[in-house]
C-alpha cells in the first residue's frame, strides 16, 4: 500500500497534484450520464432501437462496476503515476474511438474502454486524497472528491443536451478528448507518487468470480428496471450473480492476500457507513432518473427546461461537498447525518404528493433542497467509515464502498422503477399523464421510506467519537 505523507499539513505541490487527480476524476465520471440525452440521436443515426441503445449506458455501468473491486490490487501494485496516466490514457483511447465511431458496435467498444479507465479513476482519486491528508482533515479531502462523485454525473445530461441540440452527439466526445489529453499532459510532468508500492499476489480465480458476480448482479438489477422481475433476463443474471458472489466472498475470507479484503466489514463503523452510503447513492441516482420523467412526461417541460430546473441542485451538490467535509472535520458526522437524512426523507415525501399543477419554481426549490440534504451526508458518511480503518486497508475499504455505490444504484433504480411501473399499470384507466404521476408519487414515497430507515440507523449508530476500533493488521476488529 502506498503510504501517507509524514508532514502535518499540505504542500503547494500536493495542491497541484490534487487538482490533477480531481480533474481526471471529473472528466471520466462525467461520462456516466453524459450520453443519456444523445441516445435518441444515436439510435436514429445507427438505425437501432431502445433495447440496443441502452447498452451504451448499461455496458459503461457494468464494466465500471466490474473494475472497481479490482482497484484495491491495482493501487497496491502500481505507482500513482503509472496507474493514473494508464487509466486516463485508456479512457482517452475510448473517447477518440467514440468520436469517430462509424457504427454501434464500435461505439459500444469505445464505451467499454472509457468505463475501464473511469472504473480505476474514482477509487484511485479517493485513496490518494485519504493518504495525502491527515486524518483530522480527511473530511474536506473527501468533500473535494464528492464534487466529482455528485456534481459531474448531475451536470452531465444538461451540458450534453445543449451540445447535442446544437452540434450533434459526436461533438460530446470531441469536447471531452482535449480535456482528457490535457490531464494526461499535466500528470506526465507534475504528478508524483504517494509513497511506495508492493507486489501482492493476484488471485485469478478471484478476478473471474468478481467479474462474473458483480457483472451479473449489476446487469440483473438493470434488466429488472427494463424487463421486470419475472423476466429470464432478470432472474438468470441475479441467480448467477448471487451464487457466484457466495463463492467469491468465501474465497476472499479464506485467502491470506484476498483480491478484496472483506474483513474490513468487521469494523462496525465501516459496515454502518457502507449501508448508509448505499441508501444515499441510490437516492441520488433515482432522483436523476425519475425527475426528468416527472418534469417532461407529466409537467410538460422540454428536455432543456428540465435540465435547467435540475441545474441549481447539481450546483449545490458541488458547492456543499467540500463545505460538508469541513463541517465533518470540525464537528463530526452525527448531526450532518441526521440533518441530511431528515431533509432527504422529508423532500422525497413531498415529491410523493406533487400534482400536475406544481409550479416550475416550487419543483426547482424542492429538488435543490433535496440535493442539499444529500450533500450534507454523502462524503462525510463515507469519510467516517474509512477513518475507522487502518491506512493499509483504505484501498480495500474504498473499493468496497464504491462497489456498494454501484450495486445500490442498480438495486434502487430497479426497485423504484418497478414500483412506479406497477402503480402506472394499475391506474392506466386514468390516462397516461395521471397514471405516470401516480407511479412517480409512489416511487418517491418508497424512497422517502428508505431514507427514513437510514435516518433511524444514523440516530442509533452514528456517533462523533466512535468507540469501535480500527481493523487491525491481523484482520480483527478491535472493539
pLDDT confidence of residue 397: 87
Does residue 159 register a pLDDT over 80? no
Rounded distance between C-alpha atoms, residue 121 and residue 74, angstroms: 11
Place of cell 386514468: 430
pLDDT band at 467 (very low <50, low <70, confident <90, very high): very low
Q: Fold identical between 1-202 and 263-479?
A: yes
Does residue 472 register a pLDDT over 50? no
State the first-to-last Cα distance of the chain, in angstroms, to the nearest integer. 24
Rounded distance between C-alpha atoms, residue 13 and residue 186, angstroms: 13
Cα 416 to chain centroid distance, Å, stands at 18
The proportion of the chain whose per-residue pLDDT surpasses 90, expressed as a percent, equals: 30
Smallest CA-to-CA distance from 197 within 270, 122, 124 is with: 124
pLDDT band at 141 (very low <50, low <70, confident <90, very high): confident
Question: For the segment 93-140, what is each residue's pLDDT rounded down to a tens digit?
Answer: 999 999 999 999 999 999 999 999 988 887 887 788 777 777 777 777
Question: For the segment 201-234, what is each residue's pLDDT rounded down to a tens digit?
Answer: 788 899 899 889 988 888 888 777 677 788 898 9
CB 158 within 8 A of CB 288: no
Does residue 6 register a pLDDT over 70? no
Rounded distance between C-alpha atoms, residue 126 and residue 131, angstroms: 9
Compute CA distances 368 → 37, 303, 413, 448, whole Å. Answer: 21, 18, 20, 16
Identify the CATH class of 1-202: mainly alpha
Question: For the segment 363-377, what is each residue's pLDDT rounded down to a tens digit?
Answer: 999 999 998 999 899
Domain residue ranges of the chain, discontinuous segments joined by +: 1-202, 203-258, 263-479
Question: For residue 197, which phi and psi values (nearest 5 degrees)?
Answer: -115, 170
118 or 52, greater pLDDT: 118
pLDDT confidence of residue 51: 61
pLDDT confidence of residue 351: 92
Average pLDDT over residues 463-469: 61
Question: For the segment 241-266, what is each residue's pLDDT rounded down to a tens digit?
Answer: 999 999 999 999 998 888 888 888 99
> What is the pTM (predicted TM-score) of this model?
0.75
Question: For the segment 403-440, what is each residue's pLDDT rounded down to a tens digit?
Answer: 888 778 777 777 887 888 888 888 888 888 889 899 99
Question: For the segment 18-46, what is each residue's pLDDT rounded down to a tens digit?
Answer: 888 888 888 887 777 777 667 778 888 89
Let me know if domain 263-479 sits in CATH 1.20.1250.10.
no
Does residue 316 register a pLDDT over 60? yes
Question: For the segment 60-82, what is each residue's pLDDT rounded down to a tens digit?
Answer: 877 877 887 788 788 888 888 89
Amino acid at each position: 500500500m502506498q503510504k501517507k505523507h509524514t508532514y502535518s499539513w499540505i504542500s503547494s505541490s500536493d495542491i497541484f497534484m490534487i487538482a490533477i487527480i480531481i480533474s481526471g476524476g471529473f472528466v471520466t465520471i462525467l461520462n456516466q450520464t453524459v450520453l443519456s440525452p444523445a441516445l435518441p440521436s444515436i439510435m436514429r443515426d445507427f438505425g437501432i432501437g431502445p433495447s440496443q441503445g441502452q447498452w451504451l449506458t448499461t455496458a459503461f455501468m457494468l464494466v465500471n462496476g466490474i473494475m472497481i473491486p479490482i482497484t484495491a490490487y491495482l493501487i497496491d501494485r502500481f505507482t500513482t503515476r503509472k496507474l493514473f496516466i494508464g487509466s486516463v490514457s485508456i479512457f482517452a483511447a475510448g473517447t477518440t474511438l467514440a468520436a469517430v465511431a462509424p457504427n454501434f458496435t464500435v461505439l459500444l467498444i469505445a464505451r467499454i474502454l472509457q468505463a475501464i479507465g473511469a472504473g480505476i479513476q474514482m477509487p484511485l482519486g479517493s485513496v490518494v486524497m485519504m493518504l495525502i491528508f491527515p486524518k483530522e482533515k480527511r473530511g474536506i479531502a473527501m468533500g473535494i472528491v464528492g464534487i466529482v462523485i455528485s456534481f459531474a454525473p448531475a451536470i452531465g445530461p444538461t451540458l450534453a443536451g445543449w451540445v447535442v441540440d446544437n452540434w450533434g452527439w459526436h461533438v460530446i466526445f470531441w469536447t471531452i478528448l482535449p480535456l482528457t489529453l490535457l490531464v494526461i499532459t499535466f500528470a506526465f510532468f507534475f504528478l508524483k507518487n504517494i509513497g511506495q508500492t508492493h507486489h501482492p499476489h493476484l488471485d485469478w480465480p478471484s478476478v473471474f468470480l468478481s467479474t462474473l458476480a458483480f457483472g451479473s448482479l449489476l446487469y440483473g438489477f438493470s434488466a429488472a428496471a427494463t424487463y421486470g422481475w419475472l423476466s429470464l433476463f432478470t432472474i438468470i443474471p441475479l441467480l448467477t450473480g448471487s451464487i457466484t458472489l457466495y463463492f467469491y466472498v468465501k474465497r476472499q475470507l479464506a485467502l491470506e492476500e484476498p483480491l478484496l479484503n472483506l474483513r474490513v466489514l468487521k469494523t462496525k463503523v465501516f459496515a454502518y457507513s457502507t449501508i448508509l452510503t448505499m441508501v444515499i447513492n441510490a437516492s441520488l441516482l433515482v432522483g436523476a432518473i425519475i425527475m426528468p420523467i416527472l418534469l417532461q412526461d407529466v409537467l410538460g417541460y422540454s428536455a432543456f427546461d428540465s435540465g435547467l430546473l435540475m441545474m441549481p441542485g447539481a450546483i449545490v451538490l458541488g458547492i456543499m461537498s467540500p463545505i460538508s467535509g469541513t463541517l465533518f472535520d470540525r464537528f463530526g458526522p452525527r448531526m450532518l447525518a441526521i440533518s441530511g437524512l431528515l431533509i432527504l426523507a422529508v423532500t422525497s415525501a413531498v415529491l410523493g404528493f406533487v400534482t400536475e399543477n406544481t409550479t416550475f419554481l416550487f419543483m426547482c426549490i424542492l429538488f435543490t433542497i433535496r440535493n442539499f440534504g444529500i450533500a450534507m451526508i454523502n462524503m462525510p458518511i463515507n469519510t467516517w467509515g474509512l477513518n475507522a480503518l487502518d491506512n493499509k486497508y483504505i484501498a480495500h475499504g474504498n473499493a468496497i464502498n464504491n462497489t456498494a455505490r454501484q450495486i445500490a444504484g442498480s438495486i434502487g433504480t430497479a426497485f423504484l422503477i418497478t414500483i412506479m411501473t406497477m402503480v402506472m399499470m394499475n391506474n392506466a384507466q386514468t390516462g397516461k399523464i395521471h397514471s405516470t404521476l401516480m407511479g412517480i408519487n409512489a416511487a418517491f414515497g418508497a424512497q422517502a421510506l428508505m431514507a427514513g430507515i437510514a435516518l433511524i440507523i444514523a440516530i442509533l449508530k452514528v456517533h462523533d467519537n466512535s468507540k469501535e476500533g480500527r481493523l487491525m493488521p491481523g484482520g480483527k476488529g478491535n472493539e
